[in-house]
Amino acid sequence: MENKDKQIIIAIDGFSSSGKSTMAKELARRIGYRYIDSGAMYRAVTLYALEHGMILGDGSVDAAALTAALDDIHIDFMPCADGQHTLLNGRDVEKEIRSLRVSSSVSPVAVIPAVRHALVAQQQAFGNERGIVMDGRDIGTTVFPDAELKIYVNAPAETRARRRWLELQEKGDTTSSYEDVLENVVSRDRIDMTREESPLRRADDAIDLDNSDMSIEEQNEWLIKQFNRVTGK
């Protein structure tokens, strides 16, 4: 592991289903850093809202009720054999938060200012001791604007939707069609880029990565090269 006084914060931002979580997780493993999946935190809040009737039939969110419940929502991460799982009030919800049901509701939840403020504060607390890799939509612009290494990941919506659809198939979800997933990806892109609170945008000092034609190993090697450059390895 890196010497503690040389540890940095690595922010990886990008569109949904761009593969940023996979690469962030592997980068953290290789360099001995802690990985924080900020998207999983928003998904966990969304699952809580769904389970407590705070997402209405028309897809809108009862923002007042969810805001009032934020103190009762506790999110953490648990190391396990396949990486880490997300805990919602002590319950392992890793599989549930990856469902299309949650994916379809996460953006309306994430635009609620009180939700973002609460989760950004938690995310910043994770970074107090540095030595973390965090991925999301606003990590390099809002959560850690002074992060030493910022990556902005992009790929066409069709490419990202196919990746996500194949991932769902591998996890046993055969109810979602590719067209459903593509519609969800395009909708989330629009909401993420146009929301008033911390919209998705590229940080001015971020390094661009279009991983459309890259293998996972090529992505990993590219990230290690960027890490070594910043840390002087």
Q: What is the mean pLDDT of the chain?
A: 91
**Better-scored residue on pLDDT, 79 or 149:** 149
Q: Is 93 strand, coil or helix?
A: coil
- pLDDT tens-digit series, residues 44-59: 999 999 999 999 989 9
- pLDDT tens-digit series, residues 61-71: 999 999 999 99
Q: Residue 1: what pLDDT? A: 42
Q: Residue 112: what pLDDT? A: 94
For 107, the token pair is 């953006």
Q: Residue 5: what pLDDT? A: 55
Chain-centre distance for alpha carbon 134: 8
Give the model's confidence band at 86: pLDDT under 50 very low, under 70 low, under 90 confident, else very high.
very high
- Does residue 29 have a pLDDT over 60? yes
What's the pTM? 0.82
Q: Residue 176: what pLDDT? A: 83
**Better-scored residue on pLDDT, 176 or 231:** 231
- Does residue 230 have a pLDDT over 90? yes
> What is the enclosing helix (H) or strand (E) of 14?
strand 9-14
Domains of the chain listed by start with CATH number: 8-231 (3.40.50.300)
List C-alpha distances in Å: 75 to 13, 49, 189. 21, 14, 25
Give the model's confidence band at 4: pLDDT under 50 very low, under 70 low, under 90 confident, else very high.
very low
In one letter, which amino acid is 73?
I
Strand order in the sheet with 75-80: 75-80, 83-88, 91-92
CB-based contacts of 79, cutoff 8 Å, min separation 6: none
Q: Are 136 and 44 in contact (CB under 8 A)?
A: no
For 50, the token pair is 């769904």
- pLDDT tens-digit series, residues 165-213: 998 888 888 888 999 999 999 998 898 888 888 888 899 999 999 998 8
| Residues facing residue 86 across a β-bridge | 77
Q: Are 181 and 99 in contact (CB under 8 A)?
A: no
